[in-house]
Every structure is written in structure tokens, then in C-alpha cells.
Structure 1
Amino acid sequence: MSNDLMKGKVAVVTGAGRGVGREIAICLAAEGASVIVNDLGASLQGEGVDMSPAQEVVQAIEAAGGKAVANGDSVAEYSGAENMVAAALETFGRIDAVVHSAGILRDSIFHKLEPDQFEAVLRVHLFGAFNISRAAAPHFRNQNSGAIVHMTSTSGLIGSVGQANYAAAKMGIVGLSRSVALDMQRFNVRSNCIAPHAFSRMIESIPGKTPEEQEREMEKRRTRTRADQIAPLAAFLCSDAAEGISGQIFGARGNEVYLYSQPRPIRTLHRDDGWTVAKLAETLPGALRASFTPLERTRDVFPWEAI
């Protein structure tokens, strides 16, 4: 543990038992942070409880000379988020950053998507983002500092087939993070999003290709888009080195880091006498069609290989 951008600080990382969350927790610890490693150890569908993944991450951090404590509460419940923050305060005396990386999938083509599948995904991703941010907010306000990092996704920012619930949650997180950034800026609290590209259980589970095609794709992602390549950006955004950076959406893929645009008006139509349906039908398609955002998928927007 030779780096110190997070020295003396305490961070809570949800979903830190595996994948991106695991690597973020380890990276934060390597930068000097004490870490609450939160993970239910559930399946991708949110089923079952197994504390061993979180405990293994704690052991790895401690073996490298860092400090960490495992936590098995559910971020989908506000009381669970409160328990995580309480664990940070009781064990390490403060809280300086939260990273919400926990997630589940219930993929389904939209006309077959069940209400419980929609709600379950929103509860972990979007409600979880609110729960952990809100639980930490009073402490951040009182100490006049704090950093929040949320995981969004290109499934929401750009689009993916069969993931309406996941996309809705991830776009909701963007709006939540922006609002937190605006509301909390007076207290020196920052909130940002990362859209990660990394091999993980979630990526591995997405259907749509033959087993052979999927295995070839997975092998490329295992080596070129690794979870440990996401972690430095998250740790940086938690640190004081990111002072003044808030309300932004970043991406990380392989060795690439990029900044996403955010919705702003791009074209305007005006009539002094106002608009009717007929006038819109006559004017709008021809005037605006060239500026429409295409119905692209993530793979259409990122056609180049990560290196």
C-alpha cells in the first residue's frame, strides 16, 4: 500500500464482493482508504446470500496492509444503507465516499417483461443509489465534504435490446446523480457517474449470440476490458484530486477514459401563430429528422476494439 490519494479517508463500496465493485474496493484501499466492503453475495437475479465474496475481498485488502470490514446488508433497503454508513462510522470514525456498484439483471424483451422484474432491478440499482447516497448525505453535509460515485450504463445512455428495466434504472441514476451534485454543491459534496465497460458476471450473462460467438467475445473482454481498469477512475473521483468535478458522466473501457455529453437542446422550431397537429406534421419531420438520434445499440456507437 504505497499510494495515498485516499489516505485517512473512509469509503463504502456496494456490490464489492465481485467484479467492478471488488476492484474499486481494492483500489481505494491501495490508495489509503479504509473500506466497508458491502456485498450480499447474491446471484445475478438477486437470490441467495453468501458473505464469503465480501470477506475474501477484506482478506485481500488486509493481506496487502489495508483496512476493510465486510458488510452484508442490502442496498435495496434504506435501513441496509444506513447500516453500511453506521458501520463506517463505528469502525473507522467517519465516512468520506460512497461508490454504488451493486446490481442485478432480469433481462427480458419488453413485451414479456414482468412488473416484478422491472421493480427488482430498479430497487437494487436506482433505489440503491438513492439509499446509500441519502444515508451518507447528512454526514457529508456536517463535515462539509464527501464524494459519491454511481455506476450508470451504456444500456441507458445509448441502448441495448432486452434491458428496459436495467436501462431505466441506469438513466434514473444519471438524473439522481446530477440532482445530488446540484443540491449538495454548497456543502462541498460531489456526485458523478461512470459507465463502465468491463468483463463481469453481468456482461457474461447477456444473451443473443451462439455459444461459440459468445465465448470469443468474452475472451476479448476478459483481456481487453477488465474490471481493474475501471477502478482507478472511481478512486480518483472519490479523492480530493477530483475537487471541482461534479455532475459529470464518465466512461471507462479498457485503457480509454471518456466524458459523455448530457442532453441539451440542439434544434428549435418556432411559429408566431403557434403549432397545430397538421402544421407539426407538415414541418417537423423534414426540419428535424437529420438531427434525430438514431436507434443505435452500444455496439454501434463503439465499433472499435478496446486496447
Structure 2
Amino acid sequence: MVVNNIFLCSIAAVVFVGTLYPPFVNLLFGIQLSVGAPFFNQTVLPLTAPLILAMAIGPLLPWKRAALRPALERIWFAAVVAVIVFLVMTEQSNAITALGLGGGVWVMLSAVSDIAERAKLGRVKLGDSLARLRAMPRAAFGAALGHIGFGVMVFGIAGMTLASQKVVVLNPGQSTELGGYSWKLDDLRDAPGPNYAQRVADVTISDEGKPFLTLHPSRRIFTTPKVITNDAAIHTNGFQDIYVVFADEPAGGGAELRLNRHPLAPEIWFGGLIMALGGALSLSDRRLRVGAPSRKRAAKAAGVVA
């Protein structure tokens, strides 16, 4: 558990420094710096890999009585499934994506295996296992939820390595390919509002020739004061985000659109929500609350001593 916290604090420190260092340097010395994705990829990823490994094993090690071999024997099934996922995804994607998906499976199944081991599922009668589950403290389920949420979030981060985006100029009737889908600009129309001029694009997205989604991004030009805003058209189904937004205005007509497909992006938010639920469940466990002596009891105890 200590190792997990060390890695988590290290990642938080790296993100904190990488985010706030450039504006502080600019404020104090007037030097313009930019810290982008390469910095975080080179610093956070080396810390995340051992964190994923330790997060699955850490909860299985008793405090000050750590024995690695029994812990590994309890999560052998999770390790086998994680390796299979890694090997399968290596053939279908890149190594980083496969490592992330395998790591997510490793963390989630390890958490489930821990609960199943505590309940002696499959080793005693089902009724006895259910009784053990009911007798478990909420903190145990909260910890499992927290680890499952982290695994789901790792899924989302791994999926972002497969994200694809493209800026393209299209005229009505033209199409382009991105992320395995066909993106076609059906129409480009004006839809003025009360105090703005608006241009709307109708973009149909097809998978293997079958349309399944139509998005309507828009650009608004307000007259008083003159302000231009772009409204992105976003679609999510819980497993991927697809969105289209206007880019610059092309000189030759048509529409310049920024197309985006982000597989597994919603899992980042779902993972954070599950972790928050796990933390709330752990805090609700009355058995882990530390009682504070009341003022009356403290005064009474002082009177007795006197």
C-alpha cells in the first residue's frame, strides 16, 4: 500500500510541476515555455507501469507480514487473462495500447479475485460464501471498487492511444476516411439566429457503407459585438467519442472541418466515477471510524482523577 501511494504521489507531483512550471517561469522571468504531451508521456508512463503492477498485488499483502508467493497464487487467473489480452491486442494494435488494456484487466480481475478469495468462493457452500460477503466490511468493497475504477480508467487512457483526428476541407457531397469510418458532408446551410449568422454542416458517418450517425456542427458569427464561436457536434455511446467541429474558413468555399474519433475515452470519466464511489463506500464503513472523546466524558474523567 505504501508503494502504491509513493507512485501515486510521484505522478501527481509530475503533473503538478509540468502544469504550473511554465506559467510561473513566465511570471517571474518572462520566459515562454511550453510543456506538452511528450513531457508527460516520458515522465508519467514509467511511473504508471509499476503502479499498475503494485496496485494488483499490494492489497493482498498483510501489513508488516508480507508474503509475495501466496499473494501471487491468489491472482494467477488475473495474470493469465491479462497476458492473453496483451498478446491478442498486440496483434491488433500497438504495444502501448496492448500493455494498457492488459494492465487494466490485471488490476480489475485482481480486485475481484481478492473479494472471491475472502468469501472462499468455490471452496465452500454458496450460502457460506454469501454469508462471508455480507460480513465483510464496506471498506473491502470500497477498495475493490477503487481498484476496478482505476482499471477502467487505464482502459480509457490506453484507448486514447488509438485516437484519430483529421482536418479536411470538404464540399457538399464529398467524403473522407478516418478511424475506419467514412465521413461525408451532406449539406452546408445557413441558419441565422436573432443576433447572429450561423452556418451548419450536416456530416453523415458510415461504417462499411452503412450510415449510423449524423452530426451537425455549427459556426456562429455574432453581430454586436462581433464574435465568432464554433459549436462542436459530439456523440458518445459509452465506448467512444465522435465529434466534428469547424476549423478555419477556407478561401475556396466548402467547409474546413476537424474530425475526431476517440475510442474508450468515456472510460476515463467512468473510471474516475467508480473510484469516487469506492472512496465514498469506504468512508461509510462505521467500523473504521475513530471515536473522539466527548467534552462531558473528558471533564468527568478529570474530576475522578482529582
What TM-score do you get using the length of structure 2 for normalisation?
Answer: 0.21
TM-score by structure 1 length?
Answer: 0.21
> Which structure is higher in helix share?
2
